[in-house]
Amino acid sequence: MRFLFKLIICLLTAAGVGIGLLALRSGDPFYTLYEWLSPARFQQYDQLIRAAAAANHLDPMLVKAVVWRESRFDPQKLGAAGERGLMQVSEIAAREWATENRTDNFQIEELFDPNTNLQAGSWYLHRAIMHWQQMRDPLPFALAEYNAGPSRAQRWAGGNGARPVSAREFQSNIDFPGTKQYVVSILERYRFYQRRGRM
């Protein structure tokens, strides 16, 4: 009986060490452990994310990185400035999306629907990337615009007609600590998904 108890303890210890090493190798052990403990929460919108990303010519790993940062996969999240849902889409952005896509009788509460939110948020993110497509690396510019608006992003880029700045210069020009951290965290999460080859 004592031998069996020791064997079980050894197996559990080995399993724990193995899981810990795998989590560490992932690059973000806490995220990986949470994902293993609650796969439904972390993966339940993956199919919708892929569809919205494809419809808007985006990498689904990027869209999921934005969802992770904006709402931690909570479709009912309501932001301090009234942003809603998985991608924390603002009412202004949602109405622009609805007009562009000829969505009749759009109601702002529809942003709590994951599919609608992902379509609107992905559309807005794609538009921001297209706005900065002349840059060598448009992503930091687009993410700052997504978070803080086009006029602030333009100011951080040096204003209209200024010499083009690098992504690094642009990020150092961001004088909103929240936006600066927002851009860094999404880029890091995006690279995390890319390293492991899946969302």
Q: How confident is the model at residue 23 (pLDDT cuts 50, 70, 90)?
A: very low
Taking residues 97-106, what's their average pLDDT? 93
pTM: 0.84
Question: Which pLDDT score is estimated for 35?
Answer: 83
Question: Which pLDDT score is estimated for 10?
Answer: 53
User: For residues 45 and 33, what is the distance between their CA atoms, to the nearest angstrom?
Assistant: 19
Question: Which pLDDT score is estimated for 68?
Answer: 96
**What are phi and psi for residue 78, nearest 5 degrees?**
-120, 120
| Gyration radius (Cα) of the chain, Å | 20
Average pLDDT, the chain: 88
Residues 6+ apart with CB under 8 A from 78: 84
User: For residues 114 and 10, what is the distance between their CA atoms, to the nearest angstrom?
Assistant: 44
User: For residues 75 and 143, what is the distance between their CA atoms, to the nearest angstrom?
Assistant: 20
How many CB atoms neighbour CB 74 within 10 A? 13
Taking residues 110-118, what's their average pLDDT? 98
Question: Which pLDDT score is estimated for 21?
Answer: 46
- Strand-pairing partners, residue 84, are 78, 89
Question: Which pLDDT score is estimated for 183?
Answer: 98
Query: pLDDT of 118-137, one tens digit each?
Result: 999 999 999 999 999 999 99
Query: pLDDT of 46-77, one tens digit each?
Result: 999 999 999 999 999 999 999 999 999 999 99
